[in-house]
């Protein structure tokens, strides 16, 4: 593999098992993530709508995951054929969809954890804050902020990829190009702050639950669901987001880029785990509107805590 250390332009990619593995992984994520997230989004909109803050956050998380999944056929094609006939603009968009998913998923998962924390620990005092309107405003602000942050990256990627006259490396450009240290530090700080928020939320909720009576199967099941919500959130952060963030900080100009390539594959798998958050966070997830309670996330346990 020949390369240019400045902009990672290469004449061609030599076929290798590592590219085939990437293609298979992205294909599996596509096969699992597309139906899971499409069905989850359909159920969220049909059975829950935008009638609660938690449902609003989860709809936006599902949309973010679908955007990533819809870009995966391009990754499968590239790593299977090592060709890119779709142009610089399409490559830039596909790379940015991955970055947007990582950032928005981190934020929405954290907001879901905070929403569950407020609902369970401060159910009365948080009523004015935990509204559908507030959740919608937060989601709009997140999308606007991430879009603004992506504009310089779009311009940078396009300018660099246009300097590759013979062959567009596309996703391998993302792997081989040396990123800005400032950008890597900023992203790592951002992820770590959100991780700390999730850890604190988890600890506070576990302490609060330990002080509540747990007699009866229904109450025990509700407590388990609450713990599973936070466990899934922590799992997504620690397994899928944290390694990718750490490698950005310590990355050297590795000509093969095997570690980063593998972690990008791993990070894309997060979209297959997010539907578990919907299942454990929303009461009667599979039921119609007329057959469920309108509040979300361990409603009966919240009511018990209010009475205590």
Tens of pLDDT, residue by residue over 26-35, are 999 999 999 9
CA 40-108-37 angle, 5° bins: 20
For the chain, where are the alpha helices, taking DSSP H only? 17-43, 53-81, 87-121, 132-161, 171-176, 181-210, 217-235, 242-250, 258-268, 270-281, 299-307
Mean pLDDT of the chain: 79
pTM confidence score: 0.82
Tens of pLDDT, residue by residue over 186-212, are 888 888 899 899 999 888 888 888 777
Tens of pLDDT, residue by residue over 77-91, are 999 988 888 888 898
CA 221 to mean position of chain CA atoms: 27
Tens of pLDDT, residue by residue over 265-291, are 888 998 888 887 776 666 544 444 444
More confident residue, 151 or 176: 151
Kindly report each contact of residues 39-47 with a partner whose C-beta sits within 8 Å and lies 24 or more positions away, as own/partner.
40/274, 40/275, 40/278, 41/66, 43/278, 43/285, 43/286, 44/278, 44/282, 46/288, 47/284, 47/285, 47/286, 47/287, 47/288, 47/289, 47/292
Write the CA distances from 241 to 75, 191, 192, 208, 278, integer angstroms.
Answer: 19, 8, 10, 27, 19
What are the structural domains of the chain? Answer: 17-307 (1.20.1070.10)
294 C-beta neighbours (distance < 10 Å), count: 12
The pLDDT of residue 221 is above 80: no
pLDDT of residue 251: 61
Pick from 266, 204, 190: which is nearest to 235 by CA? 266
């Amino acid at each position: 593999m020949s390369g240019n250390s400045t902009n990672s332009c290469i004449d061609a990619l030599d076929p290798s098992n590592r590219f085939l593995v990437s293609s298979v992984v992205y294909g599996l994520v596509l096969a699992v993530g597309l139906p899971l997230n499409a069905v989850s989004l359909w159920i969220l909109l049909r059975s829950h709508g935008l009638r609660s803050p938690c449902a609003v956050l989860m709809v936006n998380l599902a949309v973010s995951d679908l955007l990533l999944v819809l870009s995966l056929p391009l990754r499968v094609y590239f790593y299977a054929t090592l060709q890119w006939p779709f142009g610089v603009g399409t490559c830039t968009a596909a790379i940015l969809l991955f970055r947007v998913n990582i950032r928005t998923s981190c934020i929405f998962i954290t907001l879901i954890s905070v929403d569950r924390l407020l609902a369970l620990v401060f159910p009365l005092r948080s009523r004015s804050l935990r509204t559908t309107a507030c959740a919608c405003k937060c989601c709009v602000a997140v999308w606007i902020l991430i879009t603004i942050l992506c504009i310089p990256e779009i311009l940078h990627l396009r300018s660099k990829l246009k300097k590759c006259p013979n062959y567009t490396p596309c996703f391998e450009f993302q792997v081989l190009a040396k990123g800005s240290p400032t950008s890597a530090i900023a992203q790592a700080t951002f992820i770590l702050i959100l991780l700390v928020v999730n850890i604190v939320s988890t600890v506070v909720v576990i302490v609060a639950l330990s002080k509540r009576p747990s007699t009866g199967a229904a109450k025990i099941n509700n407590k388990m669901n609450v713990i599973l919500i936070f466990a899934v959130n922590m799992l997504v952060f620690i397994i899928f987001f944290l390694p990718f963030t750490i490698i950005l900080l310590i990355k050297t100009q590795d000509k093969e880029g095997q570690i980063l390539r593998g972690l990008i594959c791993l990070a894309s798998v997060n979209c297959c785990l997010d539907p578990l958050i919907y299942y454990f966070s929303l009461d009667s997830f599979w039921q119609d509107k007329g057959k469920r309670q309108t509040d979300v996330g361990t409603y009966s346990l919240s009511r018990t805590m209010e009475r205590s």
